[in-house]
Amino acid sequence: MDLISKYRSELMGIAIIWVILYHLILTQNSPYSFGFLDSILGNGYGGVDIFLYLSGFGLVRSWNKCLQQNHSHAINLFYKRRILRLAPTYIFICILYSIYQNNWNTLFYSISTIGHWINHNRYDWYVPTILLLYLSFPILYKLIQKYKFRFLIISFIIILLVTISFNYLSITNDLRMLSISRIPIFILGIYHGICPISYFNRSYYFRNTILMFIGLVLLFSLKHSPLRILFCGGLFQLTFLFITPGLCHIISWTLNTIKLPILNSILSLLGILSYELYLIHLKLIENIVKLPFFGEINHWVYFTILIILIITISYMTNKLMHIILNIISKIKFSI
């Protein structure tokens, strides 16, 4: 687990690349293809599971730091840090999107995240999901401390039954299921964050490798099942509960073995900017064929230019939010 902690930013960098390329090849009328890699990129929603797994793991450390700094107000400090990390950038992007659409009705539903949960207007499903998971963290943390692995098993069984029920009832194109199906992987991240170092021995890594292959077989089976199982039913995503830990360990071990500083630096930067990259790339990549001048320029050149713009805007947004938050903190301090 030390390797996953060491390469956390790089893992998030790989995850956001996976998500972006997933959206690229699956956008409507997309001319983009990466040949045999399309079968891997077509499962790029697994990048979100990597984010949530690492988030659950990382939040344990953040929570413990809050307890050490101010035990009586730990929960307030914890929520403040999480909201300040999520809200400013999200609100900024939602406002820009509403201006672009000239539709201010979307703004309230997006910023409040209500739109996602009532299946109405929304910017995306991801931020409402992580916001709810972050708000639930202190409760989940206590439940995992008390019931340990049993809580994960019970949670998985409940979510599995819910997703099967939704598929059985043919309520499958519901983005809320993308949120519900991600609860177990977040809980698993918290569980691994709580586990003592002695838990992460050779048998742990062996089990995770076996579980990863089981998860891949399950994912392949579901995708080729004659049953009416669609993407938004949540079952595809649930398989990443088995896949993600082993995958993160293999990637971390590979990065630690090959030791390419330039590659690690690039992946680390993308990981640090992953939240901004996710929010900013979303509507651009999903609608790339509808963007200005598409078709007038070679589509690979167009994609390269667009990615450079997305990274640049993400970097500038990240820095701008840090400046704004620093100003706010100084004003409060002076008062």
- 197-222 burial, b if ≥16 CB within 10 A, otherwise e? eeebeeebbeebeebbeebbebbeeb
Do residues 35 and 233 lie in contact, with contact meaning Cβ atoms separated by under 8 Å? no
Enclosing domain of residue 20: 2-334
* Strand positions, DSSP E, the chain: none
Residue 152 to residue 130: CA distance in whole angstroms: 18
The alpha carbon torsion through 260, 265, 268, 270 (nearest 10 deg) reads -120
Q: What is the pLDDT along the chain (335 residues), one digit of tens a residue?
A: 678 889 999 999 999 999 999 999 988 888 999 988 998 998 999 999 999 999 999 999 888 888 887 766 788 888 888 888 898 999 999 998 888 877 777 888 889 999 999 888 788 999 999 999 999 999 999 999 999 999 999 999 999 998 888 777 765 578 888 999 999 999 999 999 998 887 888 888 999 999 999 999 999 988 887 765 666 678 889 999 999 999 999 999 999 999 899 999 999 999 999 999 999 999 999 889 989 998 889 999 999 999 999 999 999 999 998 888 888 767 654 44
Q: What is the pTM of this model?
A: 0.91
Q: What's the total number of domains in the chain? A: 1
